[in-house]
Amino acid sequence: MKAFEATELFFQQAANQLDLPNDVRELMLTPKREVQVQVPVALEEDCITTFIGYRVQHDNSRGPMKGGLRFHPAVDLDEVRALASLMTWKTAVVNLPYGGAKGGVTVDPRGLTEKQLEMLTRVFVDQIHDVFGPRTDIPAPDMGTDAHVMAWIRNQWEKYHGFNPACVTGKPVEHFGASGREEATGRGVGILTLKLLGRLGRKPTGTRVAIQGFGNVGSHAAKFLSDADMTVVAVSDISGAYYEEKGLEIHDCLRYIAQHGSLADYKNGAVISNEELLSLDVDVLIPAAIGGVIHEKNVDQIRAPIIIEAANRPIEPDADAKLFEREIIVLPDILANSGGVTVSYFEWAQNLQLYKWNLNRVRQELDHVLSEAFESVWQRSHESQTSLRTAAYMVAIERVHHAKTLAGIL
Ligand code: NAD
């Protein structure tokens, strides 16, 4: 199923519960603005390579739009549109004063030198600088982009509009970035996993976890959960998955990654495939890599009773329905991975005031925001007897709907 179609399906399930009229649904699903631009870059002397870049601004009824920029070969308009709408529901469910957006360039950044990547970033900003900024739409890192790319974005944007570090978040700490932004999504996954276990009456100690993806999100989630006394029995990256029945030594995995750049040839765990990791007999499964990894063909092999969607869209809708039938609890992406956008919001708020919080404050406020969001979704799911996903969408849609009504749009 195409990305936007899948996101729309989840929206419709919640809209049905809310009895939302069709004209309102159409308005809420239709992006406010979609921009597609050419990004010509002289990768080699005397030869221009033309990339395609996108920025989709989905909704701004609750505040300026917010969402990452992805540099990846699979980026296309449909995917960016789906991810932009996910950001609207994500910022609404966490109750941040934002709408949703997303952008990207169809490119494999691993094939570029640092200088070429910088040129590409700057040309992309040249093309879209007038549609984003601190009060309209604030980009952030996503797959294939990082704090360094955000520093180039800020620098290029400020050439047109003057000093304003709030034009982009996820910047390096030395460039008005927030302490704790890098760990925020994985830490948020950890915080929310503990909240869910608590509500289910389970203790973290000894809870067995498998995590697919050991990049920014997966590695910080693994660290947080193993520090919370949970047993992380498997982690993986693109090179494969690594399993240890008694629990992996996560700090050793982190050291290995820091030295080697990937988990390839990691020796302190048995090698299994990424597919086998998904079907391990664990208490909690955390897909933290890419979208669509749990689908109709492998859903019956899933044995974990709890899935935390750290990645965006890791479960296809048909598989989601089967998991619900089997009473497997899924903490949906729009809530589970919202720690990153929450700390991005803290960064933006600090930038607007030119004031800096310390790491302790960032962590405390993150815990507070995510706890409130979790409780509102948990309660909603019990009141309405729905999955946590449908409940999360219901909370988000109601907030956006209310904002539109108050503004006189509806
Ligand atoms: P990342 O690039 O840092 O890490 C991705 C990890 O997944 C790497 O370990 C990579 O080797 C692994 N991987 C890639 N393809 C794989 C495959 N086919 N099978 C198994 N593993 C594979 O990315 P990230 O920032 O950690 O993001 C991971 C997911 O979380 C993405 O879906 C992203 O959209 C989502 N997300 C990230 C953030 C954030 O703040 N970084 C916020 C919200 C959502």
DSSP secondary structure letters along 201-245: T--STT-EEEEE--SHHHHHHHHHHHHTT-EEEEEEETTEEEE-T
Among candidate residues 66, 90, 102, 171, the one labeled active-site is 102
d(CA 168, CA 179): 15
Nearest-CA residue for atom 32 of ligand 1: 311
- Alpha carbons 16 and 390: distance in angstroms, whole number: 10
- Determine the residue of 211, 217, 220 to mutate for testing ligand 1's pocket, defined as the one with the most ligand atoms within 8 A of the Cβ atom: 217
188 lines ligand 1 (CB under 6 A): no
Query: Which residues of the chain fall below pLDDT 50?
Result: none
> Which residues are 100's β-sheet partners?
59, 66
The pair of structure tokens assigned to 374 is 């979790």
Dihedral angle of Cα 90, 212, 360, 201, to the nearest 10 degrees: 80
Distance in angstroms (rounded) separating the CA atoms of residues 368 and 362: 10
CB 217 near ligand 1, within 6 Å:
yes
The answer, yes or no, to whether any atom of ligand 1 lies below 6 A from the CB of 270, is no
Q: Rounded distance, CA 288 to CA 212, Å?
A: 5
Give the pLDDT score at 143.
87
Q: How far is CA 174 from CA 113, 171, 180, 356, in A?
A: 23, 8, 13, 11
Q: Count other C-beta atoms under 10 Å from residue 206's C-beta.
A: 11
274 lines ligand 1 (CB under 6 A): yes
Could you tell me which of 28, 7, 166, 34 has the C-alpha nearest to residue 101?
A: 34
> Given this model, what pLDDT does residue 176 score?
97
Nearest CA-CA partner of 265 in 239, 232, 243, 284: 239
Q: Are 54 and 35 in contact (CB under 8 A)?
A: yes
H or E element that contains 318: helix 317-325
Ligand 1 atom closest to the CA of 170, numbered from 1: 40
pLDDT for position 1: 82
Verify whether residue 246 is a known catalytic residue.
no
Distance 21 CA to ligand 1 centre (A): 36
Q: Rounded distance, CA 376 to CA 370, Å?
A: 10
Residue 329's pLDDT is what? 98
Strand partners, 362: none
Strands 240-243 and 270-272: antiparallel
Sheet of 208-212: strand order equals 270-272, 240-243, 231-237, 208-212, 284-287, 306-308, 329-331
Q: Which of 93, 150, 216, 346 to mutate to test the pocket of ligand 1 (most atoms within 8 A of CB)?
A: 216
Question: Probe ligand 1: pick from 143, 150, 254, 286, max atoms within 8 Å of CB?
Answer: 143
